Chains A and B, each alone.
Chain A
Amino acid sequence: MNPELRNILLENSDEIIQDWMDDLKNSKLKEYKSAVSEDLIEQVNREFVNVIFSKLTDEKTSESLEQLSERIVNLGWPLGYLTEGMQSFRSICIRKIIEEVNRDDHEFFLEVMDGVNNWVDPVKNELINKYSTNWTNIISLQKVALQELSAPLIPVMEGITVMPLVGTIDTDRAKLIMENLLDGVIKHRADVVLIDITGVPVVDTMVAHHIIQAAEAVRLIGATCILVGIRPEIAQTIVNLGIDLSKFPTKSSLKRGFEKALELTEREVVSTNEETGKVVDELISSIDKE
């Protein structure tokens, strides 16, 4: 920036800061910051002013700027508050310079504009970039987290594994389900796999298609697939859609599916004590009612 302009800014820095703080207090930005204490806002705003003015005298203050922007991102302030605050800072600075220097030609005005913009914009960009990288990070982390709980395969006993599916199945998840299913069947040497769709909100033709394909693939590697957890309304929509699920057994609940799986592997649950056996049966049936 033109040294002359820079000196004006530095000489009037106290006044600019005061104006800016007042402006922030009076503006509609108030609605943003109901959850944050006034002191904290003032403290951070002062810090910001220090950083931006030191940027004016010394170009190499990117480290303190980075620290500040990281702090602001961690505070979780709305981006709108920052950009509006920055905008008002810019206009106050421009106004101040124009008031101080008594010239009103276009050339001068443009010079002031460019100078101030070149000073404020990098700071603004830095902050916005910090915000957006932070968001992208969060999104990618959540994607990973979601993928981790996407399609778990649980071996319940020798030869029997369960895959509970929760949530919407899209193309990516369908692929993952198929891979996990086949890997798991081989790894756990499963004879029967129960796919539980209790937590799948909508079964349309695509979801059904993927399930049928998965079941068919499981059949090809020598295991049996049982589809369980079909809620009554899902059963009706499947019938309405005209989807043929007759190629593999289906059951309403995981419990029934498990009984079927035991039957297929020629086993049954026997109680070692008749009394406790009854109690357990009652318990199970009472859970089933719920």
Chain B
Amino acid sequence: MKGALTNVPITKEWDIVGARQSGRNMARDLGFGSVDQARIATAISELARNIYLYAGSGEVSFEEVQGEAPVGIKIIASDNGPGIKDITKVMEDGYSTSGGLGAGLPGVKRLMDDFDMESNEEGTKITIVKWLR
């Protein structure tokens, strides 16, 4: 299962459930505890929902990685949507363009260990990692 890559396409609202289910299953298989599983599932839920809400469609993929700790889970959420105009602004708490809570992306950053975001007019790619400690 090492290095295994799973892709979950996001096109419907219910795909969010599928994405976080497979993420949670993978996290459990890797040995994450229930609190971390909930963190990972929540982070996936946020990213997948962003894809669904702002880009319409995209995909979430999962990967087992090594690095700071022997085992970690890497989640990549990518889409070909309009991109994020102001990257610094979306990382501020309480900023939302859709009337939401505006806690999504900064929240995801706090839930996970590593957070990386690339965005331009051709799409957005967010990579997050949680290490098993």
Q: Does B bind A?
A: yes
Contact with B along A183-218 (1 / 0, CB 8 A): 000000000000000000111111011001000000
The listed residue with most B CB atoms (<10 A of its CB), out of A206, A234, A236, is A206
Any chain B CB within 8 A of the CB of A233?
yes
Q: Which residues of B contact A209 (CB under 8 A)?
A: 100-101
User: A170, A204, A205, A236: which contacts B35 (Cβ < 8 A)?
Assistant: A236
A204 and B93 CA atoms in complex are apart in Å by: 15
Interface: A166 (CB within 8 A): no
Chain A: residues with Cβ within 8 Å of the partner, total of 21
Interface of B is mostly: helix
Q: Mark B20-62, 1 if CB is under 8 A from A, else 0.
A: 1000000000000011011101100110010000000000000
Say yes or no: A203-B42 contact (C-beta < 8 A), given A240-B111, A241-B107, A243-B101: yes
With a cutoff of 8 Å between Cβ atoms, the chain B residues found around residue A91 in the complex are none
Residue pairs across A and B with CB atoms within 8 Å: the count is 66
Select from chain B the residue with minimum beta-carbon distance to A209: B101
Chain A residues 114-146 with CB under 8 Å of chain B are: none
**CA A168 to CA B49, docked complex, whole Å:** 13
List chain B residues, Cβ under 8 A from A170: 13-14, 16-17
Residues of B within 8 Å of A, CB-based: how many? Answer: 24
List of A residues within 8 angstroms of B20 by Cβ: 202
Determine if B65 is an interface residue (Cβ-Cβ < 8 Å): no
User: How distant is B87 from chain A, measured CB to nearest CB, in Å?
Assistant: 18
A205–B13 contact, CB under 8 A? no
**Please, could you name 6 A-B residue pairs with CB atoms under 8 Å apart, sorted by A?**
A202-B41, A202-B45, A205-B104, A206-B49, A233-B34, A237-B39
Residue numbers of B with Cβ under 8 A of A are 13-14, 16-17, 20, 34-35, 37-39, 41-42, 45-46, 49, 93, 100-101, 103-104, 106-107, 110-111
Q: List 9 additional A-B contacts (Cβ < 8 Å) besides A168-B17, A232-B35.
A: A202-B45, A204-B42, A208-B101, A208-B103, A233-B35, A233-B38, A237-B111, A240-B107, A241-B107
